Amino acid sequence: MRLNKEKRALLLPALALAWAAQAWGNTDTTQVVVALNEAAVIGVDFQTESLTDAPKSLTVLQPAEWQSSTSITEALEFIPGVDVQSRGAWGVQTDISIRGGSFEQVALRVDGMRWSAPHTGHHLMNIPIDPEDLGHVEVVKSGAGPWAGVGAFSGAINMKTNTGSSANRATFTAELGSFDWQRVRAHVDWNTGNISHGLSISRASTSGHISNADATIQRLMYGWIWSTGAHRFKGLVAGETKAFGAQNFYSSKYPDQYEETGAAVAQITWNMDRSKWRFSGGAQGRFHQDRFELFREGAGWYESTDDGFYVAQLATPDTAGWYAPGLSWYAGANQHRSMGAAANALAQWKSGNWTLSAAADARTETIRSNRLGKAPEAPIEGEDSDDDPYTLGDTRQNLDAYASAKWSTVNWLATATAGFNSNSRFGNSFLPAAQVVRKLGTHARLFASAGRSVRHPSFTDLYYDVGGAVGSDSLLSEYANQAEVGFRMVMRPTDASNLIVESTRFYREGTNLIDWILYDGSDVFQAANLSEIEFEGGDLSVQYTAASSNAPRITMARLSATWMDADRASAGFTSNYVLDFVRTKYDAVVRLEGGSPLAFTVRGSMQERNGVAMQWEDAKLLQLWGAEVAFKGNDGARLAWRGNVRLDNLFDVQYADRGSVLQPGRMVRFGLTFEWTE
């Protein structure tokens, strides 16, 4: 069913709708907008602003939501409009979808720098940062292509690290849990002059909830902040390695898969405020390495023979890729190395009612591989081709830039933006956008936005061809035209509490959408551009936050509902990503604390999916519930301690997030942290 003209008419003229609000809105402007504790949001154009006046729907997470998680992706499961699809639990591998977009259509920014994963978006959330090292997390639930660039197709995730403690301190954490979960972490903060430093190291492992689901994760991060005069510098160096059994991850036809990944990032950002001007800039390099074995190698699995075959003595002896005597299509592991080098800059001038901004992000993305890319025209100098498995490769350059003008008065905020993308392979794209906020008195806001976003194919989309999946080097870039209208009410029931009520309606028209599809009668997934598809939906959320007190009270609660639909269904083929989305989703997080050293949290998500990627016992509604008890001792003392007991998948639901990748049932984790402060 296509969206009818009446529905589209409600969504597209966003500016006209905001203008009409003046007729009924409360125009009392004698009061000052309440400054919320979580008001310092990065926002859609990644400039700090008030949450009250944000021109798009966004959710700011509370620290308690992620600090007991093994990965930030666990906390995102309970955010309205966000679909978390896990192949490996505990943050081993997770795809993030916002408002039905694919895992390739979400942008990630950390400390002001956009992170990209040109090999495949499956690796975007390989973040070499422990959840405890994050200080701010927010989700923008609409396309932000003109500002965030390629990849901000359906939304963006903005994070800031929490380096910058004024105190010298050290912490040590130990965790134990179901399926032999073990984790240790050490962290230290120290100051030298006007430079603040933070260093973290952690290691986690599990034997897995099923055979071939074992995993080991190691992380190391160093961050620093240096302020001098009007200048502020922030740096980050971090690395991560993962090794895990990938049972059924990418194909149930060849279930005994295995993968090792490594990620490393180094970046520095700078900003300065002076008179009417604001400047910022940054530089970054992100390296990623992946070794994927379609048939897991090693003792008890598959081992290479002298004649070049991979043979396993399992319950039933097997030979990898064996189709006929003397012929095997499987030649060993896929090996990839990708590198992204980027620099960005922003200049902003503010005078009176006007703010003018101009920004650019330039990056080079490169891959070397034994599966993806093209053969070089000549041998690479200094490398022995006989020993180098990375015989294929590709490189592309990308430039994102925008110029915007923002006009603000007592009752109005309006922004017009002209975005531009230039890619060395896919050409140029114009990305316009407009946003408007109508202030309805002190507490209420009507907001609307419209814009265009682009996403270019990954190297996997273009070149992959092994194990029943075939890419296409003729793929086109995908585009989205989108609009959103919403109403937000921000109130302060008491001096120590905040209440935010938000309702939105959104529309997205996608063209040339990139999907991996299985045509009826075929056993091969192919990368292809789908024709125009329209998505529409809406969400409603209520969030309450309050300071802890001497008596038990709810300090955080968020209840939300999201729904969406598409005007097209899979007909004659199976969609692996584009038409696989959560149709309805209900989320709840409630935290109770105060009056004792204990705090209690309950979280839940109920989901109904459109598509075939997720499977569960009850085909209509997946219910994931969890609970947590946190406790602390010697609070405020030089040596303090805290701990928590966390229970996930409370009702032991058997389900698969992606295809036949079975997720863990009921899990319990116990953690204890000691903190020393000088």
Considering 139-148, 298-307, 349-358, the range whose residues carry the highest mean pLDDT is 349-358
- Across residues 470-475, what is the average pLDDT? 95
DSSP string covering 158-176: EEEE----SS-EEEEEEEE
Q: What is the rounded average pLDDT of the residues 362-389?
A: 77
* pLDDT score, position 383: 53
pTM: 0.90
The predicted-structure confidence for 582-607, as pLDDT tens digits, reads as follows: 999 999 999 999 878 999 999 999 99
Mean pLDDT of 169-194: 96
pLDDT computed for residue 614 by the predictor: 45
- State the average pLDDT over residues 529-555: 92
Q: Residue 329: its pLDDT value, please?
A: 79
Is the pLDDT at 246 greater than 90, yes or no?
yes
- Confidence band of 450 (pLDDT split at 50, 70, 90): very high
> Are 102 and 96 a contacting pair, CB within 8 Å?
no
Instruction: Please give the pLDDT value at position 599.
Output: 95
Strand ranges for 580-666 from DSSP E: 581-593, 598-610, 615-616, 622-633, 639-648, 655-656
Question: What per-residue confidence (pLDDT) applies to 4?
Answer: 47
Rounded to a whole number of angstroms, the distance between the first and last alpha carbons of the chain is: 64
- Predicted confidence band of residue 29 (pLDDT cuts 50, 70, 90): very low
pLDDT value for 39:
47
Mean pLDDT of 92-111: 93
Q: What is the pLDDT of residue 570?
A: 77
What integer pLDDT is reported at residue 251 of this predicted model?
Answer: 82
State residue 201's pLDDT score: 98
Q: Would you state the pLDDT for residue 635? A: 78
**Among 9, 155, 48, residue whose Cα is nearest residue 485:** 9
Give the whole-angstrom CA distance, residue 50 versus residue 37. Answer: 10
User: What mean pLDDT is reported for the chain?
Assistant: 87
Q: Could you tell me where the beta strands, DSSP code E, fall in 370-496?
A: 392-408, 412-423, 427-440, 444-455, 465-466, 469-470, 478-491
Residue 306 is predicted with a pLDDT of 80
Structure tokens at 317: 């002896």
Query: What values do phi and psi take at 409, rounded to 5?
Result: -130, -170
The encoded tokens of residue 14 equal 């966003």
Percent of the chain residues past pLDDT 90, beyond the cut = 67
Residue 467 has pLDDT above 80, yes or no: no
Check residue 18 and give its pLDDT.
32
Burial of 332 (0-12, 13-18, 19+ CB in 10 A): middle
Residues 641-655 have a mean pLDDT of 94
How confident is the model at residue 16, as a pLDDT?
A: 34
Cα 287 from chain centroid (whole Å): 18
- Is residue 305 very low, low, confident or very high in pLDDT (cuts 50, 70, 90)? confident
Q: Is the pLDDT of residue 146 over 70?
A: yes
Say what the pLDDT of residue 9 is.
Answer: 39
Closest Cα to residue 52, out of 647, 397, 501, 571?
Answer: 501
Least confident of 262-271, 293-302, 448-457: 293-302
pLDDT for the residue numbered 209:
95
Q: Identify the pLDDT of residue 593.
A: 92
Distance in angstroms (rounded) separating the CA atoms of residues 591 and 546: 10
CA distance 254 to 247: 9
pLDDT of residue 25: 35
Contact in structure between 606 and 621 (CB atoms under 8 Å): yes
Q: Lowest-confidence range among 18-27, 156-165, 484-493?
A: 18-27
Cβ neighbors of 137 (< 8 A, separation 6 or more) are: 60, 61, 66, 72, 75, 157, 158, 159
Q: Which one has a higher pLDDT value, 548 or 188?
A: 188
Percentage of residues of the chain with pLDDT beyond 70: 89
pLDDT computed for residue 327 by the predictor: 63
**Taking 60 as the threshold, does the pLDDT of residue 618 lie above it?**
no
Spans of all domains in the chain: 5-175+186-204+221-249+441-677
The mean pLDDT value for 55-81 works out to: 92
Calculate the alpha carbon distances from 566 to 99, 103, 210, 528, 643 in Å: 11, 17, 35, 18, 44
Which is higher by pLDDT, 508 or 52?
508
- pLDDT score for 46: 59
> For the chain, how are helix, strand and coil distributed in percent, rounded to 5?
5, 55, 35
So what's the pLDDT on residue 222?
98
Q: Are strands 427-440 and 412-423 parallel, antiparallel or unpaired?
A: antiparallel
Exposed/middle/buried for residue 7 (C-beta within 10 Å: 0-12, 13-18, 19+): middle
Element (H, E) at 10: helix 5-11
Mean pLDDT of 16-27: 34
> Other CB atoms closer than 10 Å to residue 473's CB: what's the count?
13
Write the single-letter amino acid at 443. H
pLDDT greater than 70 at residue 402: yes
Measure the CA–CA gap between 415 and 68, rounded to whole angstroms.
38
Q: In whole angstroms, what is the distance from residue 518 CA to residue 530 CA?
A: 13
Amino acid letter at 17?
A: L
Confidence of residue 573 (pLDDT cuts 50, 70, 90): confident
CA distance 414 to 22: 14
pLDDT for 33? 26
Q: Write down the pLDDT at residue 14.
A: 35
Q: How confident is the model at residue 299 (pLDDT cuts 50, 70, 90)?
A: confident
